[in-house]
Amino acid sequence: MKIKTSSELIQNSLKEIKTISPNEALKLSNENKCNLIDIREISELEATGKIKNSLHIPRGVLEFSIHPTSPFFKKEKIDSNKEMILFCAAGGRSALAAKTLQDMGFEKVSHIDGGFSLMINSGFEID
């Protein structure tokens, strides 16, 4: 049995998911056409700040927090009709998470290439 590396899982996910640039994500966010979801850990937000107008759902609880019938669903903050745009620090975790959401049945899902650091360089503001 061959155990896949995290890099292999990410590469496989990237073949199946939609990847968008930070500039595309900024445009969609500014036009209020997406749910911008930060899946980084709380310690990362504390160290680097939070992207303005993003919703923080740590990767470890994403599946439990995003399903509309879950008791943890943030119905006041997530519009299920809009695209779910995920980001992390560099793009690896968000690629895996986007693939998971697709596997759950979400159709409008993407992740931001390059993650948080490229987002800051593309004009996203920090709260």
Higher pLDDT, 54 or 75: 54
* Burial tier of 27 (Cβ tally within 10 Å: 0-12, 13-18, 19+): middle
- Nearest of 20, 16, 97, 23 to residue 61 by alpha carbon: 97
- pTM passes above 0.75: yes
pLDDT at 10: 95
pLDDT at 96: 97
Domain 17-121: give its CATH architecture: 3-Layer(aba) Sandwich (3.40)
pLDDT, tens digit, for every residue of 15-46? 999 999 999 999 999 999 999 999 999 999 99
CA 38 – CA 41 distance, rounded (Å): 9
What is the number of alpha carbons within 13 Å of residue 11 lying toward its C-beta?
A: 5
82 is written with which tokens? Answer: 């809009």
Cβ(37)–Cβ(85) below 8 Å: yes
CA 63 – CA 72 distance, rounded (Å): 10
26 is written with which tokens? Answer: 């900024």
